[in-house]
Amino acid sequence: MLRLDNLTKTYRTGDRALSGVSFTVEPGQVVGLIGPSGAGKSTLIRCINRLVEPSSGQVFLGETELTRLGRGALRRSRRRIGMIFQEYALVERLTVMENVLSGRLGYVSFWRSFFRKYPTDAVSKAYGLLDRVGLTDHVDKRADALSGGQRQRVGIARALAQDPDLLLVDEPTASLDPKTSRQIMRLIVEICDEHGLPAIINIHDVALAQQFVRRIIGLKAGEVVYDGPPDQLDAEVLTRIYGEEDWSATIRAVDEDEALDEPTTSDEEYLSPESVLDRERMAGLS
Amino acid sequence: MPTVWRRPPLITNPRLRWAVYLGSLTYLVLAFASVDVNWMRVYEGLDRGLRFVKGFLVPDFVSRWGDIAQGMQESLTMTVTSTVVGILISVPIGIGAARNIAPLPIYLVCRGIIALSRSFQEIIIAILFVAMFGFGPFAGFLTLSFATIGFLAKLLAEDIEDIDEAQAEAVRATGAGWWQVVNYGIQPQVMPRLIGLSLYRLDINFRESSVIGIVGAGGIGATLNTAMDRYEYDSAAAILIIIIVIVMIAEYGSSIIRGRIQ
């Protein structure tokens, strides 16, 4: 589905952010990308939709080689790649609906978007997405009037409005409290499951990554140093990714967290979307 | 452990530091000493100044009302039209002069236009346009439009360069075209300030319109100049009072609007 081949990025300042990164993401697979600050996580996902221009190497999305595309073709390919940002990156002074509809910009002409005359199916889709992320009551509010968790939900709806084939998620929970972080991660993973959507999620919080994704890639100084399931992340691997540190607390915290979060001791790691949804409803969240 | 701490000085080298202090002080003393004040002339001038002020205490709106009304109308027309035209031209130039969204050749051309517009004072441009197009408000209109471009385009460009890039990046990531990125990612961020600056420029243009009238570019300035030349200080006072009132109204009105659009 998504294939990175020997992707390298050297910034003009001479900083080598990525050196020879290669991996493949299968359809419907959600990958957590972890690594210390400055390891090149943000650069990596931005090289995929070429918000950052890679220095060498190739990126394939399906059959398309993204790294070869000209400007027009790149724009058309970007429509297929939804992106969710750290600190939400909503256009603050636009309404929630405008933010969600902006996911359709690649599909409509400038004048249509200028006069906000979107096709009816785009509008009904946007309403549907806002309903899905639980923001039906906030359609006409300005984005900066929402709370952090609500804003990130708008960000998710905007990315989904693109009808993407791939989600790139950059630190979705960086400025959210632990509970909201879990809700947002759960929502993203659920949606990916519903649509069979592959995703790459940059994430700082190792425990959170372990809880929600089934494959983890560890990046250190621009190189892949771990690629495997979350339950094999032990002190040795964490040291390889982040460097020497006392990891016992981190790992134990993960266990406690899961124990707290999943009182039913099921063997299955993965929670079905329905059960999650039920629990959220019980908590009055969605 | 030391018990005394001093903030590191701006200039680390003490010799250089004291040289700069002493040099500045010497220059200041010499500069003040070189200002030549003729105290006798000041004393005589006080009397003339008093006559001037006395004239202003009894403003005469009536005897020259026709001229005043016409000058005012010209000035207001000049102000509004030049502000509108100036904004219309300066928005594209301002966008072109923002380094983060414009390609280098366009950036250089737009910055050139801005530099040209800003390097000449309104009066000088007014003299040029009066020479080219004759006396009257048309020269004033052109002058103010030209000056508005330099002012608004520069501030707009700087505002665009200061935007939160993440918002524009997010719009770009959806596959939006360049104009769509400007419309969705940038315009909402700079609009309140652009409106505020436009209203401020309307203010400035009105005040300038009364100044450039003095060099023949029409409007209330021309009327004021005529009144001064005829030593009709009472009529001049009436004109100044009207200008002050209008500037205050504009000031108050624009502050209300600016407060609302944030």
Which domains, ranges and CATH numbers included, belong to chain B?
A: 63-261 (1.10.3720.10)
Q: Taken in order A38, B176, B189, A153, is the CA torsion positive or negative?
A: negative
Q: What one-letter code names the amino acid at A51?
A: L
**Structure confidence at residue A83 as a pLDDT band (50, 70, 90):** very high
Which chain B residues are closer than 8 Å to A51 by Cβ? 169, 172-173
ipTM of the complex: 0.83
Backbone angles phi and psi of B37, in degrees to 5: -105, 125
Instruction: Read off the pLDDT of residues A186-205 as tens digits, 9 standing for 90 and up.
Output: 999 999 999 999 999 999 88
The mean pLDDT of A260-285, rounded to a whole number, is 48
Residue B152 Cα, gap to closest chain A Cα (Å):
22
Confidence of residue A263 (pLDDT cuts 50, 70, 90): very low
> How many residues make up chain A in this entry?
286
Distance from chain centroid for Cα A144 = 21
Question: Which residues in chain B come in under a pLDDT of 70?
Answer: none
A30 strand-pairing partners = A199
The residue type found at A159 is: A
A219-245: pLDDT as tens digits: 999 999 999 999 888 888 888 888 888
Interface probe with B: pick from A49, A105, A109, most Cβ of B within 10 Å: A105
A56-61 and A215-220: which strand pairing? Answer: unpaired
Beta carbons within 8 Å of A170's beta carbon, 6+ residues apart = A41, A42, A45, A46, A83, A84, A85, A86, A202
Higher pLDDT, A23 or A263: A23
A268 band by pLDDT with thresholds 50, 70 and 90: very low
Q: Do B175 and A78 touch (CB under 8 A)?
A: yes
* Residue A111 contacts B, CB cutoff 8 Å: no
Hunting for tokens 């405008």 — which residue is that? Answer: A98
The amino acid present at B215, given as its one-letter code, is V
Q: What angle do CA B166, A63, A110 make, to 5 degrees?
A: 45
pLDDT, mean over chain A:
87
* Per-residue model confidence (pLDDT) at position B54: 83
A264 confidence band (pLDDT: 50, 70, 90): very low
Q: Which residues contact B179 (CB under 8 A, 6 or more apart)?
A: A110, A114
CA A106 to chain centroid, in Å, comes to 20
Longest Cα separation, chain B? 82
* Two tokens, residue A279: 């629990």
In angstroms, rounded to a whole number, what is the distance separating the alpha carbons of residues A2 and A52? Answer: 17
Half-sphere exposure of B7 (CA within 13 A, CB side): 3
Tell me if A91 and B169 make a contact (CB, 8 A cut-off). no
| Residues of chain A contacting residue B172, judged by C-beta atoms under 8 Å apart | 51, 78
Q: Which of A79-83, A259-263, B22-26, B97-101 is predicted with the least confidence, judged by mean pLDDT? A: A259-263
Segment A123-168, tens digit of pLDDT: 999 999 999 999 999 999 999 999 999 999 999 999 999 999 999 9
Interchain CB contact of A183 with B (< 8 Å):
no
pLDDT in the model for residue A286: 43
Residues A84 and A150: beta-carbon distance below 8 Å: no
pLDDT in tens, B70-121: 989 999 999 999 999 999 999 999 999 999 999 999 999 999 999 999 998 8
pTM of the predicted model as reported, rounded to 2 decimal places: 0.81
Q: Residue B51's CB: how many other CB atoms inside 10 A? A: 10
Tell me the torsion sign for CA atoms A71, A73, A79, A83.
negative
Q: Strand locations in A221-260, DSSP E?
A: 223-228
Nearest CA to B157 out of B97, B103, B100 is that of B97
The string of DSSP codes covering B207-254 is HHHHHHGGGT--SHHHHHHHHHHTT-HHHHHHHHHHHHHHHHHHHHHH
- Nearest-CB residue to B175 (from A90, A94, A106): A106
Residues A221 and A10 sit within 8 Å (Cβ to Cβ): no
Per-residue pLDDT, A274? 53
Rounded to the nearest 10 degrees, the angle between the axes of helix B122-133 and helix B137-161 is 140
Token couple for A75: 């724009």
In the predicted model, is pLDDT for residue A266 greater than 80? no
Residue B7 DSSP label: P
Mutate to test the interface with B, among A47, A51, A91, A99 (most CBs of B within 10 A): A91
Strand partners, B101: none
Contact B47, B225 (CB under 8 A): no
Sign of CA dihedral A246, A247, A252, A253: positive
Say whether residue A93 is in contact with chain B using an 8 A CB cutoff.
yes
Provide the terminal-to-terminal Cα distance of chain B, rounded to the nearest Å. Answer: 52
Residue identified by tokens 């372990």 is: A210
B81: Cβ contacts below 8 Å, ≥ 6 apart: B141, B145
Distances (CA, A) of B230 to A65, A205, B226, B233: 80, 81, 6, 8
Residue B121 is which amino acid?
Answer: Q
> For chain B, how are helix, strand and coil distributed in percent, rounded to 5?
80, 0, 20
Residues contacting A69, CB < 8 A, separation 6+: A50, A77
Chain B residues within 8 Å of chain A (Cβ atoms): 164, 166-167, 169-177, 179-180, 183-185, 188-189, 191-192
What digits encode the pLDDT tens for the residues A27-58? 989 999 999 988 899 999 999 999 999 999 99
Q: Within 10 Å of residue A165's Cβ, how many Cβ atoms?
A: 20
- Cβ–Cβ contacts within 10 Å for residue A58, how many? 15
| pLDDT confidence of residue A1 | 84
